[in-house]
Amino acid sequence: MTDPAALRADYTRGNLDESDLADAWYPQLRLWFDTAAADPTVLEANAVQLATADAEGRPAVRTVLVKGLDERGLVFFTNYDSAKGRALAANPTASAAFVWLAHQRQVRVTGPVARVGRNETEAYFASRPRESQVGAWASPQSQVVESRAALDALAAEVAARFGDDPIPAPPHWGGYRLEPEEVEFWQGRTGRMHDRIRYRRCEDGSWVRERLAP
C-alpha cells in the first residue's frame, strides 16, 4: 500500500520573477499555454479543473476542456442542465486551474461566468466530430441512467434520427465564458518556497500584479 505522505518530489524546473512576466495576464497565460501545448509529454494542455458551488454553497470540481482562450477569458461547453450548468445558473462564478505538472506550473483563474452567444456555440458545435455531436443530444448529462446499454441506445436513436443530415447544436447545450477577476501563476520551487504571482482586477477596471507567499 502506497503511503501518500511518503510521496515527495522537488520542484527545480524554473522560477518566476516579476521582471520576466508580461504586463497583463493574457499574454502571460498564452505563453505558458502554448509552451504546454507544444510539449508532447503534456496530455490535454487545455484541460482545467473547474470548481463551482451550488445555491447552498456546496462545491463541486471536475475536469473540462477549454475551447476558447483570449483577453475576454476561458470558454468551455457543456449541457446547460448538467450539474455544472445548474450550479452556474444558481451561482454564476467559478474558479479554474490549469495544471501542467511536467512543467511544474499551474494557473488559477477566478471570476464570473456567463453564457456565450448562440452564434459562438453553433460555430463551435459545427466543428466537433459527429460522434461528439450525437453525444451532446443523446446524453442526459449528470442524470442517473439505467445502464451503459441504455446510454448507447440513446446515441443510436439520435444517430438514426439525423441520418446523414447536419446535426445542429442542441438548445440545452452551449458555451460559458469565465471572465477573469484574478489570475494566479504558480511556479514550483525547491523547498516548497514556490513562486506565486497574481494579476487582480480592481474596482475601477485596472489590474494590479502582486506576489503571494507560497
What one-character-per-residue DSSP string does 158-207 give?
HHHHHTTSPPPPPTTEEEEEE--SEEEEEE--GGG--EEEEEEE-TTS-E
Q: Residue 197 — φ and ψ, nearest 5°?
A: -130, 130
The CA distances from residue 174 to 79, 114, 164, 178, 191, in Å, are 6, 11, 23, 14, 43
Please report where in the chains the cell 450550479 appears, as a residue: 87
Please write the tens of the pLDDT for every residue from 149-164.
999 999 999 999 999 9
Distance CA 214, CA 202 (A): 23
From residue 108, how far is each of 97, 99, 136 by CA, in Å? 4, 9, 28
Write out the H or E segment, with its range, that includes residue 111. Answer: strand 105-115
Give all strands (DSSP E) within 4-92, no chain letters: 47-53, 59-65, 68-70, 73-79
- Tell which residue, 93, 86, 82, 101, has the closest CA to residue 51: 93
The pLDDT tens digits for 170-200 are: 999 999 999 999 999 999 999 999 999 999 9
Give the pLDDT of residue 214: 97
What is the H or E stretch that residue 96 is in? strand 93-100
What's the pLDDT band for 206 if we cut at 50, 70, 90? Answer: very high
By the 8 A CB rule, do 187 and 104 touch?
Answer: yes
Catalytic pick among 13, 115, 128, 192 = 192
d(Cα 170, Cα 152) in Å, to the nearest integer? 18
- Specify whether 192 is catalytic: yes
Cell of 119: 452564434
Q: What is the pLDDT of residue 146?
A: 95
- The predicted structure's pLDDT at residue 37: 98
Residue 30's pLDDT is: 98
pLDDT tens-digit readout, 31-90: 999 999 999 999 999 999 999 999 999 999 999 999 999 999 999 999 999 999 999 999
Residues of the chain with pLDDT > 70, as a percent, come to 100
